[in-house]
Structure 1
Amino acid sequence: MKKQRILTLLITIFVAINSYAQEIPTSSNPIQPGEVLINGHINNYKGVDKTGNLHIKDNVTGIMNQEVFPIDSTGNFKISFDLVCPTMNSGMQIARTQIPLYLVPGETYNVTINDNGTHVLTGENGELNIEVYKLRTAINSKFKKDMEKLNLYHKKTQSDFQSFENFCDDLLKRKISYVDEYCKKVRISQKAIDIIKLDLSYEPAWALIIYRLDFSYPYAVKRKGLPSDFYQHLYGKFQINNPAAIGSTYYGMYINNIRDIMRKDYILNDGIIDYFRETKKFSDRELFLISKFYDRDTSITRSKEYQEFSELRRGEINQLTNKYLTKLLLESVKYFPKGIGRDLIIAHGFSACYSNDITYSPSQDEWTQMDSLISNKIILSYLRKTDQFYQAKAFKPLNNNTNILPPLLKNEADKVYEKPIGKYKGKVVYIDFWATWCGPCRQEIPHAKVLSAHFAGQDVVFLNLCNRSDKKNWETLIKSENMAGDHYLLSPDEYNILSKLFNILGVPTYALIDKGGNIFNKNAPRPSQGQMTIAAIDKLLR
């Protein structure tokens, strides 16, 4: 009954927005895959940094991809990769130099990095990149305090949606006005202005849709007291099917949140337990344990019984959960009118369930449903190609560098892996990739001490690999916090290579190495997850 009420609510919401969400007409398909080539040179290169790191946002799947590239002895570098559509949420980093990039498929970019860390972009859209970067920087500086105030609204526990919406509307008007004034004083192309203004127009869409969540708990929950027409209002105010916005950062975040609304926001109900029950794979007691996980009942999920059950059946539970989420998404999204927004909601949902080293694919029935729902067949073809890539990647040995790193870096990767990690062969290694400036990393320190004490005297090494941090701050923090385990400060090159090898997109990230020196788990549980982490390490000690 509860599931039926939720589905009825969804249908009401989506039917109500049908008249608002029609596709904005466009003369060309915004999804035009092509190869991107970046040529670079570092002036007066001293040979200190031998690698660089490039992060590219895939706006079709919502995945942030990473490329590590070598720098030769003369300071030259070259990167080529396939890109499915424009993206303004990408960037390159070499040591302390960060270069934000607006990328378009099929184009070539030339980058020159100066001694002082400044950079020059030339080639196709080179000048456009500089214009967009300078204007974004000016906006961020001008409205820094306003963005801090916006974040405070998100942290409030009481709902005052109208006040927040008024603030967002006013902020958008002031930002657009600032852009107009900026353009009177600074020479800038109309294309750069259009890119920035379009992205700004979806900033309140992201800010307001995030407001549905209350972050005052240890985990985000649906905020109480939202207006009854909250979703209809947002979907009517901010166009969902907008091909021109495909490269926009905030449009992508808006789409991603709509995906979550149709998946995670409605998972906490009896429907998923009924779905698990129908598989006849779980006993009544096991279904009870699973239900307590979705109810976030820590009195049960921290118990030894639950942790042992979770460790034993986690893969199966994850697979069925993702199947259920996909079912819910495909049932709900059909009430949106056809268009690029609906296609992207499906694509983002697909990637959340079936990408990133997960070893199973959509069923034939799911592919058939996606084929009937996705109007842009280039997106459907791209999803099939993405699925094939991740399946091939998932079944490779985790230590295999083939197709992970460029040929010039494969030998270097073996050396980098061996230096801080390989010497512990014969022992289980629990790795913490962290940074001194990372708040969540520091919150895990007390839990890491407890975990280390639990395995005292056993063949387990707790290896803390700090990255992108000042050496003095690193040494001071280790001493002041009396941090457990072995410690190593990674160089920028070492971090670049290991971040690609371990698929690190943020810190903290935890990994497990077995006694043979092989990567067993690139996404191990955190120290604060207690019994689950203990069980994962115990499994490798047997």
Structure 2
Amino acid sequence: MRAILPISLIFTILISCSTQTKLPQELKGNWLSANDSIEWIISLQPDFAVYDNKFWDYKSISGNKSKFVIKLTEGTQTISLKAVLEDSLSLKITDNNNIDKRLTRKKAARPDFRNYDMQGFEELQMMDDTVTIRGFIEDYDPDIYDGTGSIYHRNVFSNVFEEEETRFNIDTTGRFEARFRAFNLQIIYLSIEGSSQTRIVIQPGSSAMIGFNNLLLDVTNDARKWEGLTDWQINHYMGEYGRLSEELILLLHHLYRNSNTSPLKKFDAIDEMSQMEYIGWRKEVYSQETAMMDSLILEMRNSKKAEECVHGILEIELLHHLYHYQISGTRFQYLAAPYIEQIPELNASSLNLINTDFLSYLNYLNIFYRQQPLSNISEDIAKYRLQFMLSQSKSTEEQKLIKELIDVPAITAELLNQGNIYPLESSDYDLFLNKRVAALRKPYNELWSKYWEKIPDSIHLHTLLKELDFVLDKHNKNLISQLYAAYCINRFFENNPPGPELNLWITNNIDDPILKKLSLEYHKKEAEAASEFADYAENTFFISQIKNAEEGDEFFNKIIQQFKGKVIYIDFWADWCSPCRAGFKPAARLKKEYAGKDVVFLYFGYNCKNERWDQVIKQDQVSGYHYWLDKEQGKVLKEKFGIIGIPHYLLVDRNGNISADQAPDPGNRAAIRERLDELLK
């Protein structure tokens, strides 16, 4: 006689076998398409699922052993997935449309992207939209991770509408989400505080999902376990540009690991080589790296978009370095005509914006147009300024000199080379060129030193517009030249009050609708900011002006002695210096962190007009101690600390001794905190 189970027990067994919300352990993990072992299809985690680029909650999970029905819900949407576990590494899912997908847990060791997309980018346009980044950390442990992260993103409007860094919190299940405004396709850098940093490709208006598998926990606990690992083994991506992010992780890792020339060497060579040696060597490095990457792209059968991105990254890095040569070591280097002739033209594609080197390229290109005598515009700007100086001069002899300088023909390559006895490839020629330009420009530079503080904003505006008209005309108003114009206008707004003339110029000359809209928007924002703050930030103090003494730097010692017993973080800055002012926001965060501790934030106004210096302290709400360096005091400290550019940072210990004459900038949070904490011990 068979035993009959009670009805209540039968019901309990049926329920336990058929319906639950707890994820079976055998289903847990990140599941990839078995076709290529790359494309991330679904992640099943104990507290949530990831599918179709979204987070889902479990409504129910039914089945047992190897066959399951998983119902997922997200807002008002519910989907049902049939899952068949074929073995510990293989899963088949069937979606609502009865489409089967075979999945694997194991990511490809030798990636083959199988030319999944051989369509290149269409002509990319500037956009203005929000980017959403979602992600999670598998097996998240709040005791191991710091619980925060950040996304670093840059574009031509960085520090205008958005900070370069967007921070986010990680919830107790390991999930996070961040949103920020973006204007172009670009690579962003996502950091998990105290753990890892990685890259993601984004486009305005898009969303991306990134999953860090449980290997991240291993390397966070023990950094030595990174040996032999890369982001490729740890990261998974969903979204429109998820596959492209996967490709670039591999390609760029290969580039930086296998290139015969390290990124540091590319910069160090600027100081080690003459300009003609450098441009030949650097272009050869570019050719070698391009050939190496083309070979790898062919081997891995990467997409056309990945190929175009890599070429854009290599190209903008090359141009950034070639223009960077102007700032060589501890001196400014004038460029010879043969060097300038060998600098390639930047392709007029917004693909070049994908790399953060693009902003550095614009910065050094700006230096080129304004300071290089062979740039075809710097001489015109100088003569325009001379006209103003002539109107201000009270000396007959000086007026005669100014008129002569106005009538002097522009500097040419032939004029620069008069008297040269050195080979173009030698460092001696570079020194000769610098001395030659200095001699030719000496009368003008002496006049500029005398009158620069008297030059009104209207003259600065007209010289800017002359430069921008020249650049737009030279490049037929292509996207790159319009981006250059927008970049220069943004910098001008930071240092000069907005006005209707520039507003009209933007309207008539910037054709790209997004660039025009954003530039006008920034114009309005700056006009409002100029009147927003009627007073200085709380805890803003001004140190009384100290008269120059014969001892030279005695004024500096007197200032430092006021804070004996405290650590001093010194910032040399100017109102016209965009990178200087970009450092105020991270410095503000640093001040909050060290509030109540023996740290003094001391700001030296360097090579700037006193009135404008004071306005910016109020406008940017820069708390701390402030001292305006007059021209002579600026020269003394420039020589004392070897200042070749600003911003420049120093650290002073409790005894008043210089601890670091090249201190980390406030944006380098880990490095500056380490130095401050060490000095506070």
- Bucket of the pairwise TM-score, normalised by the shorter protein: 0.5 to 0.7
Residue 277 of structure 1 aligns to a residue whose secondary structure is helix
Q: Is it true that 1:343 corresponds to 2:343 in the alignment? A: no
Q: Contact 1:202–1:254 (CA<8 Å) still a contact in 2?
A: yes
Q: How does 1:41-440 map to 2 (within 5 A)?
A: 41-42=136-137, 43-46=140-143, 49-59=146-156, 65-71=163-169, 74=172, 75-88=174-187, 90-92=189-191, 94-113=193-212, 114-115=216-217, 116-117=219-220, 120-124=235-239, 125-143=241-259, 145=261, 147-156=263-272, 158-160=274-276, 163-183=277-297, 186=300, 188-211=302-325, 213=326, 215-216=328-329, 218-223=330-335, 225-227=336-338, 230-234=339-343, 237-250=344-357, 253-265=360-372, 270-271=382-383, 273-274=385-386, 276-277=388-389, 319=457, 322-333=460-471, 334-355=473-494, 358=495, 360-361=497-498, 363-393=499-529, 395-397=531-533
Q: Contact 1:51–1:69 (CA<8 Å) still a contact in 2?
A: yes
Residue from 432, 453, 474 that aligns with 2:557: 453
Residue 176 of structure 1 aligns to a residue whose secondary structure is helix
Please list the CA deviations of residues 191-238 of structure 1 after superposition, one character each: whole Å capped at 9, or x if unmatched.
223211232234333333334x2614x342313x442xx54553xx43
Q: 1:29 to 1:127 in 2, by over 3 A?
A: closer
Residue 201 of structure 2 aligns to a residue whose secondary structure is strand
How far residue 457 of structure 1 moved from its aligned partner, in angstroms, is: 6.2
How far residue 138 of structure 1 moved from its aligned partner, in angstroms, is: 1.7
Amino acid at match of 1:84: F
For 1:400 and 1:181, the matched residues in 2 are separated by 58
Residue 57 of structure 1 aligns to a residue whose secondary structure is coil
Q: What residue is the counterpart of 2:589 in the other structure?
A: 497
Q: Contact 2:208–2:242 (CA<8 Å) still a contact in 1?
A: yes
Q: What residue is the counterpart of 2:81 in the other structure?
A: none
Residue 69 of structure 1 aligns to a residue whose secondary structure is strand
Q: Contact 1:512–1:521 (CA<8 Å) still a contact in 2?
A: no
Q: 1:501 to 1:78 in 2, by over 3 A?
A: farther
How far residue 104 of structure 1 moved from its aligned partner, in angstroms, is: 1.1
For 1:378 and 1:398, the matched residues in 2 are separated by 32
Q: Contact 2:145–2:195 (CA<8 Å) still a contact in 1?
A: no
Please list the CA deviations of residues 142-191 of structure 1 after superposition, one character each: whole Å capped at 9, or x if unmatched.
1253655543442246442xx54443343233222322333455474442
Q: Contact 1:131–1:192 (CA<8 Å) still a contact in 2?
A: yes
Q: 1:214 to 1:29 in 2, by over 3 A?
A: closer
Q: What residue is the counterpart of 2:71 in the other structure?
A: none
Larger Rg: 2
How far residue 253 of structure 1 moved from its aligned partner, in angstroms, is: 4.4
* Identity percentage of aligned residues: 12
Please list the CA deviations of residues 355-414 of structure 1 after superposition, one character each: whole Å capped at 9, or x if unmatched.
3xx4621x322333333332213211111123333444555449999xxxxxxxxxxxxx
Q: 1:152 to 1:131 in 2, by over 3 A?
A: same
For 1:376 and 1:39, the matched residues in 2 are separated by 31
Structure with the higher fraction of residues in helix conformation: 1
For 2:504 and 2:541, the matched residues in 1 are separated by 47
Q: Contact 2:150–2:192 (CA<8 Å) still a contact in 1?
A: yes
Structure with the higher fraction of residues in strand conformation: 2
Residue from 129, 134, 145 that aligns with 1:34: 129
Q: State the number of aligned residues.
A: 414
Q: Contact 2:121–2:305 (CA<8 Å) still a contact in 1?
A: no
For 1:222 and 1:152, the matched residues in 2 are separated by 18
Amino acid at match of 1:274: L
Superposition TM-score, scaled by structure 1 size: 0.59
Q: Contact 1:429–1:460 (CA<8 Å) still a contact in 2?
A: no
For 2:557 and 2:465, the matched residues in 1 are separated by 44
Q: 1:368 to 1:460 in 2, by over 3 A?
A: farther
Which blocks of at least 5 consecutive residues in structure 1 are unaligned? Answer: 1-24, 402-421, 431-448, 467-493, 503-508, 536-542
Q: 1:241 to 1:259 in 2, by over 3 A?
A: farther
Q: How does 1:458-477 map to 2 (within 5 A)?
A: 458=562, 463-464=567-568
Please list the CA deviations of residues 300-339 of structure 1 after superposition, one character each: whole Å capped at 9, or x if unmatched.
99xxxx9xx99xx97x769467425413313422333121
Amino acid at match of 2:464: T
Residue 477 of structure 2 aligns to a residue whose secondary structure is coil
Q: Contact 1:202–1:251 (CA<8 Å) still a contact in 2?
A: yes
Structure number with higher relative contact order (C-alpha < 8 Å, ≥ 6 residues apart): 1
Please list the CA deviations of residues 243-281 of structure 1 after superposition, one character each: whole Å capped at 9, or x if unmatched.
44343445554444333322343558743643653785x
Q: Contact 2:150–2:193 (CA<8 Å) still a contact in 1?
A: yes
Q: What residue is the counterpart of 1:433 in the other structure?
A: none
Q: 1:104 to 1:529 in 2, by over 3 A?
A: farther
Residue 146 of structure 2 aligns to a residue whose secondary structure is coil
For 1:399 and 1:465, the matched residues in 2 are separated by 24
For 2:462 and 2:566, the matched residues in 1 are separated by 37
Q: 1:184 to 1:29 in 2, by over 3 A?
A: closer
Q: What residue is the counterpart of 2:104 in the other structure?
A: none
Q: 1:76 to 1:122 in 2, by over 3 A?
A: same
Residue 39 of structure 1 aligns to a residue whose secondary structure is strand
Amino acid at match of 1:261: F
Residue 125 of structure 2 aligns to a residue whose secondary structure is coil
Q: 1:533 to 1:81 in 2, by over 3 A?
A: farther
Amino acid at match of 1:348: Y
Superposition TM-score, scaled by structure 2 size: 0.49
Q: Contact 2:154–2:356 (CA<8 Å) still a contact in 1?
A: no
For 1:46 and 1:175, the matched residues in 2 are separated by 43
Amino acid at match of 1:54: I
